[in-house]
Structure 1
Amino acid sequence: MATQKLYAGVKLREIRARLGLTQKAFADKLGVSLPYLNQMENNHRPVSASVVLALAQEFGTDVTELTTNDAERIVSDMREALADPVFAAVPPPLADLRLAASNAPALARAFLDLHRAYRQSHERLASLDEALGREDTSLRPSPWEEVRDFFHYCDNYLDAIDRAAEHFACPSGIRKDVVKSASEALRKLGIDLHYSDNSVLRQFDPATATLTLSARADPATQRFQLLYQVALATQGDLLEATLDLARFQTPEARDIAKIGLANYFAAAALLPYRVFQAAAMETRHDLERLADIFGASIEQVAHRLSTLQRPGAKGIPFFFVRVDQAGTITKRHSATRLHFARFGGACPLWNVHRAFETPGQFLRQLAETPDGVRYLCLARDVSKPGGSFQAPVRRYAIGLGCEVQHASALVYADGLDLRGRFEPIGISCRICERPDCHQRSVPPLERRLRVNPDRRGFLPYEIAD
């Protein structure tokens, strides 16, 4: 089998800039000529095995950095953006998109930002938004989308915060009682902890230095909210420094991101990296057993598995998604080659949509995307009761999966024929080229159509070859 060539020019330039070396000095250290390095940095040549070895030996570089770039994610996002009817002309070929993502990622992201601004402006006009005509109206991303994309392009892994949380939970390398540690940390700061029989999960009163948690919430939620407050109370400088580096466009986005960073710390403290990773391998990623071991919810465990992307100690690359009953994606992250639609819902053929039909059960699916990559997918419904008879129940479904070559490390693969039939799934109808999908809602972007008024199949048109 032919080995896939590694083109990682952007990453090579980033490593060289981080080391503060000129091209000449970097080439000398790697044992290659200056023109050869220049060609590799511009993706005119693949990175050779000798260069990969030199990076590891000479600089201690984690060579997985070279393969964990944003190119595929950017390509997926650009294909979806170009599916917008505003781009009436024939879209650029996939090869051109890959070149742009690999050689000019900043330009590609600027294009995505511009398209997102256009969409928001169009939606405001369509809904007669009150902001129309106001002096402070501007074409910029919503704070929520800006923060979501920040985590998306960070691979949902923030090293400094993750390590700070791990140190808090395991100061000597051994996991401590995080509830006790959190309570002691807050008490040292003069913060009193109380529980109240109300529906508000967490309420902090700075005037009285009192933190009130809901007694109605389940224990996993209580632990998480307690650790969230620890993050705000003890990690302020780290959170603010991370926010400064992110350079959000609005104060609202910065505020939302701060909540996200505190949530990240809480999850990483509840499920500390190395201890959790070891337990995941030992249990073969059994979500229920991991939830029991760490006192977490199944959703928290599934989400955490998708963040184990620490350089030099990576876990299995997972994707994680949460959808509501309307099929809208409310959380999404992928450390795999599977990337989710930025707008709209997920493919209806995916098992995550069937999870609502079988509450309390894990659904397993062997699925294949149009690019030929095969996945083991899990899905389960998640109900979040309000704590009383009259309180509303929030219902979601979560999806977790990995590429099939990692399936043997999951207990959920037991009994499945990994060489058998894989169900075809996609990402978004506009960028899915499957011609015979019975669930297709709109035509594919890059294919011509044939319309025959005398013949009707699943669709009122046929997709030409």
Structure 2
Amino acid sequence: MADKLLIGPKLRRFRTSLGLTQARMAEDLGISASYLNLIERNQRAMSAKVLLRMAGVYDFDISAFSDAGDAQLVASTYEALRAPRFKDMPVSKNEVEDLVGISPNMARAFQSLLTERGGAETPTDSPTMRAIDVVRDFIQTHSNYFPEIDATAEALSDELGLHRTGPRVALTERLKTRHETAVRIVPSDVMPDMLRWFDRHNQRINLSELLSQSGRRFQLAFQIAMLEQRDMIDAHLDRAKIEGREARGLARTSLANYFAAALLMPYARFLREAEKTRYDVELLSHRFGASFEQTAHRLTTLNKPDARGIPFFFLRIDVAGNVSKRFSAGKFAFANQGGACPIWNIHETFSDPGRLHTQMVRLPASGTENGATYFSIAKAVSRAGNMYGGRAQRLAIALGCDVSYAPRLCYSRDFNLDDPQPADIGINCYLCEREHCRQRAHPPLSKALMFDERARGMSLYRWVPD
């Protein structure tokens, strides 16, 4: 955490949400009302000491007052403003950061208005994609941590003794004794297009033979979540005011998946083993009987205020570069569309499946800040479905964190952390304005193309400089 922060607008919104006057909050924090007034107007920075005192008095997550929670909103707003219709009204990233800092709800309203009016000019503006964005924002707002779900899942894990007995046996017995539901493994030709089917009429869960053991355990845990914890999950959706069949269905499934992961990898034990193994994802997956993807995703949920893990970001792409799952911790930002940077070695995993790739990457500088450096790992995985005549879906999973956390990772031992020499990457080609990139697939949306019939450079695109 920085020693001093300019967080005036955030502080003012937080104070008014509590119904406090400046005088009352200043008294609670042991500072003068005039000093608090200067902080709220960004004429004075808030020291780490005062912020920590405020966290103790009002019991909130300090990360809510950092720039981390705004990084994704800045990226998505900036991306929306790169649309061709705004080419004569260029807006810098600094201006977007100012808008988000002063009024994040205004930035969200602007994006919503663009979507409703078709202003974002993207083929992904549809009810389905809007539902996906709603759920992504919901998870990002909660920092991918839902304490009530975690606590309930951990208690059930202890009750079932999953750390002592085979999880699949215990979960199958739970479904049988409590819900009178049997579990059956069925041939792939019986369910050619499904991996799990809950036959409510016959009280039976059919699992495809193509599912791995970790996949079978996860599907049973998911079904227990839907049968036993639906009221708790729906209460979360109600509090978040998530409306609409598509958005609620996707959000419900996401939280049931969260419960399943927390049941199989209970928070306290999983965090303890993660620290002990120095976040060795493959070793953790063996210890908890989970897949690489399940384990990597679970690592992004360790955000309990008094027992935090490393704040990871997570990305999942297919061989075409389509992003199907993402979560950003810290300031790492993803674009809403357009894939990932080709220089990031997540793409190389498809040509070398089975090997875990490591890399230091650096995002472009923003305003007066230097570009942030991150340590990332990536690996290609295959979904269920391998059989002659059928190809399993291949995906690449990336997990990363700020370079300051790298010494806590087993993967960093082959790197010189004092002189990391990171690879310079962008969010994606549409938004990256780095010149002379040989991997560029598109010019920046905010720049005009330059054509020269006499010469050809190493990159496909050149653009008119500002």
**Common fold: TM-score over 0.5:** yes
Counterpart of 1:157 in structure 2 is 145
Counterpart of 1:464 in structure 2 is 465
- Whether 2:252 is the aligned partner of 1:258: answer yes
For structure 1, which segment, 203-212 or 113-122, has the greater mean C-alpha deviation from structure 2 after superposition?
113-122
Counterpart of 2:422 in structure 1 is 422
Within 5 Å, give how 1:206-221 maps onto structure 2.
206-221=200-215
Alpha-carbon shift at residue 57 of structure 1 (Å): 4.2
Within 5 Å, give how 1:5-84 maps onto structure 2.
5-9=4-8, 11-13=10-12, 15-16=14-15, 21-67=20-66, 70-84=69-83
Within 5 Å, give how 1:280-429 maps onto structure 2.
280-371=274-365, 372-386=371-385, 388-418=387-417, 419-429=419-429
Work out the number of aligned pairs and report it. Answer: 453
Alpha-carbon shift at residue 313 of structure 1 (Å): 1.9
Is this contact kept in 1: 2:2–2:48, CA < 8 A?
Answer: no
Is this contact kept in 1: 2:87–2:446, CA < 8 A?
Answer: no
Judged with a 3 Å threshold, the aligned counterparts in structure 2 of structure 1 residues 9 and 272 are, in CA distance, closer, same or farther, namely farther
Is this contact kept in 1: 2:443–2:461, CA < 8 A?
Answer: no
One-letter amino acid of the counterpart of residue 211, structure 1: I
- Larger RCO: Structure 1 or Structure 2 (Cα < 8 Å, ≥ 6 residues apart)? 2
Is this contact kept in 1: 2:10–2:101, CA < 8 A?
Answer: no
Judged with a 3 Å threshold, the aligned counterparts in structure 2 of structure 1 residues 54 and 363 are, in CA distance, closer, same or farther, namely closer
For structure 1, which segment, 83-92 or 356-365, has the greater mean C-alpha deviation from structure 2 after superposition?
83-92
Alpha-carbon shift at residue 388 of structure 1 (Å): 3.3
Judged with a 3 Å threshold, the aligned counterparts in structure 2 of structure 1 residues 147 and 99 are, in CA distance, closer, same or farther, namely same
Taking the aligned partners of 1:172 and 1:25, their CA distance within structure 2 comes to 49
Is this contact kept in 2: 1:426–1:432, CA < 8 A?
Answer: yes
Counterpart of 1:275 in structure 2 is 269
Structure 2 counterpart SS, 1:430: coil
Judged with a 3 Å threshold, the aligned counterparts in structure 2 of structure 1 residues 362 and 53 are, in CA distance, closer, same or farther, namely closer
Taking the aligned partners of 2:389 and 2:135, their CA distance within structure 1 comes to 33
1:324-350 deviation per Cα after TM superposition (whole angstroms, max 9, x unaligned): 111111111111321111012111111
- Whether 2:186 is the aligned partner of 1:196: answer yes
Structure 2 counterpart SS, 1:304: helix
Alpha-carbon shift at residue 244 of structure 1 (Å): 0.7
Is this contact kept in 2: 1:80–1:428, CA < 8 A?
Answer: no
Alpha-carbon shift at residue 170 of structure 1 (Å): 3.3
For structure 1, which segment, 375-384 or 58-67, has the greater mean C-alpha deviation from structure 2 after superposition?
58-67
Structure 1 counterpart SS, 2:324: strand
For structure 1, which segment, 156-165 or 396-405, has the greater mean C-alpha deviation from structure 2 after superposition?
156-165
Alpha-carbon shift at residue 408 of structure 1 (Å): 1.5
Structure 2 counterpart SS, 1:320: strand
Is this contact kept in 1: 2:4–2:48, CA < 8 A?
Answer: no
One-letter amino acid of the counterpart of residue 156, structure 1: N
Within 5 Å, give how 1:238-249 maps onto structure 2.
238-249=232-243
Judged with a 3 Å threshold, the aligned counterparts in structure 2 of structure 1 residues 285 and 27 are, in CA distance, closer, same or farther, namely same
Is this contact kept in 2: 1:273–1:308, CA < 8 A?
Answer: yes
One-letter amino acid of the counterpart of residue 291, structure 1: S
Alpha-carbon shift at residue 120 of structure 1 (Å): 8.7
One-letter amino acid of the counterpart of residue 433, structure 1: E
Alpha-carbon shift at residue 282 of structure 1 (Å): 0.8
Counterpart of 2:93 in structure 1 is 94
One-letter amino acid of the counterpart of residue 203, structure 1: W
Query: Normalization by structure 2: what TM-score?
Result: 0.88
Structure 2 counterpart SS, 1:426: coil
For structure 1, which segment, 79-88 or 345-354, has the greater mean C-alpha deviation from structure 2 after superposition?
79-88
Structure 2 counterpart SS, 1:170: helix
Is this contact kept in 2: 1:11–1:69, CA < 8 A?
Answer: no
Alpha-carbon shift at residue 267 of structure 1 (Å): 1.2
1:344-382 deviation per Cα after TM superposition (whole angstroms, max 9, x unaligned): 211111101111000111111122111221122211111
Taking the aligned partners of 2:393 and 2:448, their CA distance within structure 1 comes to 42
Structure 2 counterpart SS, 1:317: coil
Alpha-carbon shift at residue 397 of structure 1 (Å): 0.9
Taking the aligned partners of 1:460 and 1:58, their CA distance within structure 2 comes to 54
Taking the aligned partners of 1:121 and 1:21, their CA distance within structure 2 comes to 38
For structure 1, which segment, 34-43 or 425-434, has the greater mean C-alpha deviation from structure 2 after superposition?
34-43
For structure 1, which segment, 396-405 or 30-39, has the greater mean C-alpha deviation from structure 2 after superposition?
30-39
Is this contact kept in 1: 2:150–2:267, CA < 8 A?
Answer: yes
Identity across matched positions, percent? 38
Counterpart of 2:368 in structure 1 is none
Alpha-carbon shift at residue 42 of structure 1 (Å): 4.8
Judged with a 3 Å threshold, the aligned counterparts in structure 2 of structure 1 residues 44 and 169 are, in CA distance, closer, same or farther, namely farther
Query: Normalization by structure 1: what TM-score?
Result: 0.88
- Whether 2:174 is the aligned partner of 1:185: answer yes
Is this contact kept in 2: 1:351–1:379, CA < 8 A?
Answer: yes
Is this contact kept in 1: 2:114–2:120, CA < 8 A?
Answer: no
Is this contact kept in 2: 1:166–1:273, CA < 8 A?
Answer: yes
Is this contact kept in 1: 2:128–2:246, CA < 8 A?
Answer: no
Alpha-carbon shift at residue 33 of structure 1 (Å): 2.9
Alpha-carbon shift at residue 123 of structure 1 (Å): 5.5
Taking the aligned partners of 1:386 and 1:172, their CA distance within structure 2 comes to 30
Judged with a 3 Å threshold, the aligned counterparts in structure 2 of structure 1 residues 245 and 53 are, in CA distance, closer, same or farther, namely closer
Judged with a 3 Å threshold, the aligned counterparts in structure 2 of structure 1 residues 394 and 120 are, in CA distance, closer, same or farther, namely farther
Q: Unmatched 5+ residue regions in structure 1?
A: 130-137
Taking the aligned partners of 2:310 and 2:209, their CA distance within structure 1 comes to 36
Counterpart of 1:134 in structure 2 is none
1:143-165 deviation per Cα after TM superposition (whole angstroms, max 9, x unaligned): 23332332233322222222222
One-letter amino acid of the counterpart of residue 217, structure 2: R
Counterpart of 1:438 in structure 2 is 438
Judged with a 3 Å threshold, the aligned counterparts in structure 2 of structure 1 residues 267 and 89 are, in CA distance, closer, same or farther, namely same
Taking the aligned partners of 1:104 and 1:171, their CA distance within structure 2 comes to 46
For structure 1, which segment, 138-147 or 207-216, has the greater mean C-alpha deviation from structure 2 after superposition?
138-147
Taking the aligned partners of 2:163 and 2:67, their CA distance within structure 1 comes to 30
